[in-house]
Each structure stands twice: as C-alpha cells, then as structure tokens.
Amino acid sequence: MKILTTKLEGLFIIEPRVFRDARGYFYETWNKERYIEAGISCDFVQDNESKSSYGVVRGLHYQQRPYSQAKLVRVVLGEVLDVVVDIRKGSPTFGQYESVRLSDQNKRQLFIPRGFAHGFSVLSSDVVFSYKCDHYYRPDFERGISFSDPEIGIDWGIPADQMILSEKDKRHPVLAEAEIL
C-alpha cells in the first residue's frame, strides 16, 4: 500500500496493492495493523454505502464536535470526484479544498481526518460509494457548507445544469456563515 500526502495536513490518498489475474482482482480494503503503521489509527464504528447516478453532488457534509467524524472513503463501482474542505479554525489551509478522483478502476481510497467537510460528484453513469466512520452518525450534529461557495471555488467536474442535489444540500450556508466549533 502506498500513502500519498496532500496539501491538506492529515488528508491522505491511499493506493492499495491490487492483485490481478485472469479471474479478476483481490485487495485489502482495510487492515487496521497496516493502516496504523502508515499513521492512520481510527477505531471505525460504522460503515455506510450509497448509490447515485451521473450528476449527483452530495455534500459538503460534516458533523459538529463532539461527534466529528474521520472517514475512509472508496468507490466500489463507477467514478467520483471526491472533495474535502479544511474547516479546522486556525489551520493554515482553512477554507482550502482538495479533490481526488476515486474509481473502481484506480481502487484509491481517501482518509479524511476530523475537521473536514466532505462531498463528491458522480462522474460515471452510476456509482456505489462506501465509507467507514469513526463516530456514529448523529443527525442533531450534522452540518453542511454550500457546494457552490464562491470563496472556496470548487470545480465539481459536472456542468451546473446537470447537477442533481438534495433540497438539504441546496440550502447549506457558505463557509463564512457555517456553524463550525
């Protein structure tokens, strides 16, 4: 497994070792011991999976303290542009984002530590997206940031007229007005 650093401290791209042959492929999607050796030590308590179609934009989501979540995300089928925004007050990269293509072909994973807002756009006809969380989902602590915040300036890789968003995601405030503890 190869760990790639990003401009956002603590955010890692993980390239697992994939074994391929005529039958298909095999790889470990999680091995606590190996991830700890790589500097990623989380006690994951919940796994989630979503299915979406082309043009869907989910996010930008986060949970407030004390239920902030670290996540390990990956794509089972299809391709997304995964987007992470640093919302750690006092961080030198506060308000900056990183985007990474994750797909069933590249098998990349993204480790997102606590203190980041997360979202993705679906670039393929369909996608199955899977992720681990180190805190349980708490609806009362869920918050979001506008996917179209001009100060952040995210290019989601999809024409605006083809984006599909939930009503909730359309109403999130910009980062400057977001509730961040």
Q: Is the pLDDT reported for residue 30 higher than 90?
A: yes
pLDDT in tens, 111-140: 999 999 999 999 999 999 999 999 999 999
Judged by DSSP in three states, 61 sits in strand
Q: What is the pLDDT of residue 28?
A: 93
How far apart are the C-alpha atoms of 6 and 58, rounded to whole Å? 22
Q: What is the pLDDT of residue 66?
A: 94
Mean pLDDT of 163-171: 97
List 61, 67, 135, 137, catalytic entry:
61
Cα torsion angle, 20, 21, 24, 27, sign: negative
27 is annotated as an active-site residue: no
Q: What is the pLDDT of residue 52?
A: 98
Residue identified by tokens 């391929």 is 20
87 with 97: CB under 8 angstroms? Answer: no
Reported pTM: 0.94
pLDDT in tens, 36-83: 998 899 999 999 999 999 999 999 999 999 999 999 999 999 999 999
C-alpha gyration radius of the chain: 16
Tokens representing 115 are 């203190």
List 131, 135, 136, 172, catalytic entry:
131
35 is annotated as an active-site residue: no
Looking at the domain 2-177, which fold is it?
Answer: Jelly Rolls (2.60.120)
Q: Which residues contact 27 (CB under 8 A, 6 or more apart)?
A: 16, 17, 18, 19, 107
Could you list the beta-strand ranges (E) of 9-124: 12-15, 19-21, 24-26, 46-53, 57-63, 71-77, 79-86, 97-103, 109-112, 116-122
**Closest listed residue to residue 99, CA positions, set 8, 3, 2:** 8
